[in-house]
Chains A and B, each alone.
Chain A
Amino acid sequence: MEFRIGQEMPLIKKLEILTDAAKYDVSCTSSGSRRSGDGTGIGNTVKAGICHSFSADGRCISLLKILLTNECIYDCKYCVNRCSNDVARASFTPEEVCRLTIEFYRRNYIEGLFLSSGIWQDPTFTMGMIYRTVLKLRKVYRFRGYIHVKAIPGADPEVVRLTGFLVDRMSVNLELPTAEGLSRLAPNKHRKTILTPMRQIQNGIVSSREEVALYRHAPSFVPAGQSTQMIIGATPEHDYQILSVAESLYRKFDLKRVFYSAFVRVNEDRELPALPGGPPLLREHRLYQADWLLRFYGFSADELLSEERPDFNLLLDPKADWAIRHLEQFPVEVNRASYERLLRVPGIGVKSARRIIQSRRSCALDFCHLKKMGIVLKRAQYFITCSGKMLYPVRMQEDYLARQLIDSRERLPFEADRVTYRQLSLFDDRRFVMDRQNFVRQAWT
């Protein structure tokens, strides 16, 4: 294999520049598509997706996540690639992207390609280059693995449509939760130009599903669905606003995933908040947990937050937080409760709820059974009974339970905040939460 294709810049240098420029996009999943190999090409996809490595920041590496170019005519304030920045620029040829993808794939480094791009000349030209690249990868290299591309807002819908038939997932980044935030930090972008391709992709997916149902061999359009990303903490929105936006994206645009990206300050700009404590990782983590509750646990944004209580308690996961504020709904009898009610118990997840329903058909379950099934009794014990009995007699009282559930060993996706966890008593906690949120907001104003 020839890696250098008569270029001025060595491929490895390009790869470095264009990986560095792509890394702030958080999505890297390869899930949602099931396609088996065809016996002669290369690649397949599995429904749940596969992670292949984890980088030093603990994030999963599943796809070759690169930009086609980091040239950009726009000037989004939060982005390293903005045209007013003086950074090294590079562009891949479609051929180079294909070779990298194939050579990485056959060694089992990756599940496929995640291709995004700065705005090169204009949106339609950029989308056209993305299209040419994935067309080559699918048709010339016969690649059947996972492909995720960005749909470029403002590009000719026809190019977006053609690309949609070649890829598994498409995403258009919402970037910021509100239109005001967008106009402040991304002056070249507009809510409308972002939502237009999102709607187009949604409609494309629906009609393609109908066609596939009719004609089995009709080409499928974006089979793994579309996703989007919001930057958290660059603008002053509350969690409640963010989660409500996510909820309506799921409901109205039928999105597969909404990703939250804790703001990392890469540019000096007075429009950007200072965030001396680093990116708001704990907040991002709580949003992901809440997002999970929306998608799989039947919760709505209004149940979790409100105008009066617009931000998550940073010390408790959103489900435990909800449970201790709704003690009237507990305890739940494990041997009788419906699946939906079991799901609302802290410490019981989707899998364990299903297992409970299955197993209790053949015998009455006790705590010992539950433990062996993988239910986290440390959390669940306060909220359940087995044949009418609790594990230990407990006080069903909000403050007491909150103290039990604040978990100093909670596995957070980062370490910095853990010390604070252990040091705080519950009463300080509330203040801490307030402080922290105010702090974020002050930093911004």
Chain B
Amino acid sequence: MLIGSNSGPQKIFQKSLFTMSSYDLRLKDLDQVLESEVIDLSKLREFCFNGIPDVKGYRSLCWRLLLNYLPCDRNKWDEQLDHHRKLYQQWLDEILVTPGSFDNEECDHPLSEDPNSKWNTFFKDNQALTQIDKDVRRLHPELSFFQQATDYPLSNVVYSSGTKRLNRRVGMHFLNSANVVRKGLGIVKITPKAEQTSTSEFKPLEEGSEAHWEVVERILFVYCKLNPGQGYVQGMNEIIGPIYYCFATDPIIKMKEHAEADCFFVFTNLMSEIRDFFIKTLDETDTGIVNMMRKVTERLKENDPVVQSYLVKNEIYPQYYSFRWLTLLLSQEFSLPEVLRIWDSLFSDSQRFSFLIDICCAMIVLIRDQILAGDFSTIVKLLQNYPNVETRVILNKAAELSVKNRDEESSGI
């Protein structure tokens, strides 16, 4: 059920104990799957579930496929990519304008009370930007990657004397006289005053270059503008981070140079599946986070009732740990390379995100002895700072649980 009917995940994981030559064989397998004119998605899932090789840009290509950005029909790839990259560019052109830069806007001005005033929207957007900015500056600070310059900066942004950098707009929530100069008759121009409230190392780069975190900031802002009902919620930075990292480090240059646009679409597709985790009013619905936490508890109860009741007895509620695990697809619990590996399996799950539940359950079961020996604070600490357990071990355990779960379901238990 999870991946093709004749091969359970358990079998696949056993296959992963490969030697060097079988590694080459594996690459050949993957090439074969990817080379066919119309890619067999279930074969691809079956392969990727076991981990995508960290070479030749396989991961970035497979994620594009698994998250339905690229169609299975290879003949359609060029057109699809071209179309979407142009579309993204068009959105950027529309979204990244500062009011006042149009000539025909003389009746619009920063003090306008017209709700359709571009200025009004501008100031409102800046509030969302403020939150995005705080979060992208706190994205994987343990890596230097996000603070480094991208090879593909957006030229009209980086050669604007700073005026088009989104982080310049942070803090400009309302009209601040110092920000606005009048140019001649009625035409108002905004000159953003750099307001740097963060002390972090995440500094915007010099004229002509921009850091990866600035690119991520722009993608999130575009997403936020195009999904006004939802807006930006903290944690989305942790979802986009690994995708962007994967695309922006692609060894295939002709993919890497489009990391920004492609990341936008893949992130959007992924968000469409997990959006409900981020919306407070949907907490209690079927697809909301409360129900997901309940599923983890239930799965744990089926597999390790002793630990589950010990947690209940000690009043260790799921919102102390599985809330974050689930909302962020575990991206804050493990290091980035481990997250990439875990996401290979998550994205290969045709019943997303059933395998995520299995992983969460496995994580608890694997440290059951420590849990059972602990009191309230040690357990909460343990679950909030998950100990060093090898990803392979966790995934194997999760696969084992998912097989068991599936067998029990089919035999009607």
Q: Are A and B co-members of a single complex? A: no
Which A residues lie at the B interface, using CB under 8 A?
Answer: none
Residues of chain B touching chain A, judged by Cβ–Cβ distance below 8 Å, are none
